[in-house]
Structure 1
Amino acid sequence: MPVTSTSSAAAHRPLPRRRWPAHPAVVAVGWVIAHLVPVAWIMSAGTSTGDIRYYFRGLTGAEAGAMDEYPEVGTWPARVVELVTSLGGAGTDEDTFVTGFVALSVLVSGIFTWCLWRAVRHTGSWPVWFWILFAGVSGPIFLTRLDIFPGLLVAGYAALLFAGSRRSRRSRSGWSGWSARAATALLAAATMMKLWPGVLGAALVGGFRRASTWVRVCWFFGSLAVLCVVVAVSGGVDRLLSPLTYQGDRGLQVESIAATPWVLAAALHRIVDGPAGAPVPWSITYAESKSYEISGPGTGVTLTVLTVLTAATILAAVVWALRRLVRDDWTPVRAVSFSVALIMLIIVTNKVFSPQYLVWVAPVVAVALVVARRPVVTLISVEILVTALLTTMVYPVFYDWLIANPPYEVAVVALLLRNVAVVVLAVTCVRWAFSPAGPSDRPVPAGVGNEAG
């Protein structure tokens, strides 16, 4: 009887409820819906396909000098699409190339989503849903620019930092080995794709006496050197230098944070003077940089200030690295939090802000949500979603009204709200980077992490 009673009780005991947001079917449905939004937008209206068609003309030689502003490594995903879509010897056309490029972007997003789901399926689903929602609210730009590829490489760099740290704590054999090398190689590849990730190399610096510090730094610069040689051999030295000279010649892009006062002033001039008023002193034109720039009173000084602020951001990265050398308090969480803050400072102080730039920061924040379970990281993820939605309102919804001369008020309001959200996001990221260490932020013990690997 007691056995029967126990068996009966066990039979009627409720099974643990599966967390439905992490159920693979629920995640799959959410992912499909989120990606159908930009795909339908692209395929039905051709929205934001101009850049993909520009990539095609550059790769096929139909437009001289096209894509010279992109680092050679940054063009490799587009080259893969061109190669795959031309299999069979018949070549490819623009429409096929557009479809192939969007398909590749969807594919890498799907792989990243799967990796996030694998990491959180038993602990919590917000990281994977954050990425899914980001894909849905970011609009067509999410899948039609090359920026998603270096952004995901930076996320891979962050994930491998944590993977190597966990392994060293379990084995007590030191933080280095394949995770360290792979992490730094991914960051180097991202740098060669888009330049800006190079500043994140400062986040690799740890204690001066730790061999693991120099493993990370040497592998980073060594990987850069190898990729530079590959580019120089395959495309010539000019392909190494053209992206740098191109960036130096750019003006004040209309969507940048610093351009906001002048765009607002141009719109207010329309309100005050009316259609028959005096000519607006600020002009928005399509520049040689292949973007819309604003010029007029104050924009020259603004560019000078931005140059100083960009230099200050780089100096801050150097100071941060020097502090880690001396204090010997490097941890993966500290490195990733600083990387997130640095990305946002680069965006805020940049004379250019294209709508896809949020793809620089969203993937690494998704990784941070997995490994750094702190309220401030959740807040950052929510702020990114709000900013991404506002960015979609700026481009493509109101973009034609924004680049009018002078711009229309509704477009300027959308830009103002988005840029305020970007500044708030940057402040929150900096706050996380300089907040007191949490339980997961403790440095590796002194006896761990000193092997050369």
Structure 2
Amino acid sequence: MLPAPAQRQDPAPFLPLSDKDSAISTDAFFATLTRIRNVILPAAARSWLNTPRGLLAGFILVHLGFLIFAALLSLRGEAFSDTFIYRDWARAGFNEANLSGGPSPWVYPILALIPMALAGLAGPGPFFFLWVLMTTILNGWALTKLTERGRKQEAIPAAWWWLVFTLLMGWLGFARVDGLTAPIVLVALAYGVGRPFIASVLLAAATWVKVWPAAVMLALFAVVKNRLLVVLAGVATSAVVVALAAAVGGVSKLLNFLTQQGDRGMQLEATFTTPWLWLSVLNAGGSRMYMNTDINSMQVDGPGTAVMSVLMQPLLILAAL
């Protein structure tokens, strides 16, 4: 009698229990989301949404809502969230002497002042609408590059993820400088390891708008074969920024964003804030959340936060360097 053929062993039982459970949980989660999507959307609708026309319709629908709301506020001479501060900076010509209190415009890297100046070209009235319009244009550029103008069919689901993410983020993605840097980073990632020089130029420029894209540039440096291109792109872009600062007489303030964070405290979204954030949620340890109205930011206060705030400053400088 021939022996029974050996059965293929499932590798899952040999995984550590935590890894196995994590994999099963993740698969089940996305399978559930897929089933919900399939119930809500008929097959014909799913197929159409996964086309360039469907993606374009989604893009227009999502961004049109934000543009209409921005237009209504702008017609009333208003702004929203951080754009109130940006508008004041632009109206003051980014000169601290013309400001009546509040944070300095130089808490941001110098390239962040360019979109603020552009939004303020027509005066304070349409500032917010023009800011949202710039964000919309950059988001459109990002999705165009990601999908190669709709020719890259397999990228359309990722583009939809970006649209849904944009919708869920709401005004956080349209009323802050981060809303401008995020699509630039997405374009850089779309170029990725295939065009590391272009990707690095974009990431370096984005870093001179808001510091966090430097982390993405470090990741790119870690995975590309020709790392010299990444370094050269970063140096060349920074040289252009220095030349621009010299042209407008701003060299002395070029690195002020590293030292002019002032009494910002620990902002709600900062990684190091997490322990105190949970303590404040649990109403423990004397920690609390509060609104810093001077800079329109939610912050966390509690035992040890003053010391951690001091430590975060040199860490920011190290990250920028």
Same fold at TM > 0.5:
yes
Shifted more, 116-125 versus 41-50: the winner is: 41-50
Determine whether 1:31 maps to 2:59.
yes
SS at match of 1:95: coil
Contact residue 39 and residue 140 of structure 1 kept, 8 A = no
- Assess, with a 3 A threshold, how the Cα gap between structure 1 residues 259 and 215 changes in structure 2: closer, same or farther: closer
Determine whether 1:22 maps to 2:45.
no
SS at match of 1:292: strand
- Assess, with a 3 A threshold, how the Cα gap between structure 1 residues 283 and 53 changes in structure 2: closer, same or farther: closer
CA distance in 2, matches of 1:257, 1:77: 27
Determine whether 1:228 maps to 2:246.
no
1:300 corresponds to: 306
SS at match of 1:247: coil
1:106 corresponds to: 136
- Assess, with a 3 A threshold, how the Cα gap between structure 1 residues 45 and 79 changes in structure 2: closer, same or farther: closer
CA distance in 1, matches of 2:305, 2:154: 50
* Matched AA of 2:231: V
1:137 corresponds to: 168
**Following TM superposition, by how much is the alpha carbon of 1:190 offset from its aligned partner in structure 2, in angstroms?**
1.2
Q: Give the length in aligned residue pairs.
A: 264
* Matched AA of 1:187: L
Contact residue 82 and residue 296 of structure 2 kept, 8 A = no
Gaps of 5+ in 2: 1-45, 93-97
Out of 212, 215, 218, the residue aligned to residue 202 of structure 1 is 218
- Assess, with a 3 A threshold, how the Cα gap between structure 1 residues 222 and 286 changes in structure 2: closer, same or farther: same
**Following TM superposition, by how much is the alpha carbon of 1:207 offset from its aligned partner in structure 2, in angstroms?**
9.8
- Assess, with a 3 A threshold, how the Cα gap between structure 1 residues 291 and 226 changes in structure 2: closer, same or farther: same
> Could you give the per-residue CA deviations for residues 136-179 of structure 1, whole angstroms, max 9, x where no partner exists?
211122112121222222222222234xx3xxxxxxxxxxxxx4
SS at match of 1:297: coil
CA distance in 1, matches of 2:161, 2:223: 34
Contact residue 142 and residue 184 of structure 2 kept, 8 A = no
> Could you give the per-residue CA deviations for residues 294-316 of structure 1, whole angstroms, max 9, x where no partner exists?
323232354467679x58x95xx
More relative contact order in 1 or in 2 (CA 8 Å, sep 6+)?
A: 1
Determine whether 1:116 maps to 2:146.
yes
Out of 240, 249, 259, the residue aligned to residue 245 of structure 1 is 259
TM-score when normalising by structure 2? 0.67
**Following TM superposition, by how much is the alpha carbon of 1:245 offset from its aligned partner in structure 2, in angstroms?**
0.5
Contact residue 289 and residue 300 of structure 2 kept, 8 A = yes
Counterparts of residues 259-270 of structure 1 (less than 5 Å): 259-266=273-280, 268-269=282-283
- Assess, with a 3 A threshold, how the Cα gap between structure 1 residues 116 and 197 changes in structure 2: closer, same or farther: closer
* Matched AA of 2:255: L
CA distance in 1, matches of 2:223, 2:153: 35
Contact residue 246 and residue 289 of structure 1 kept, 8 A = no
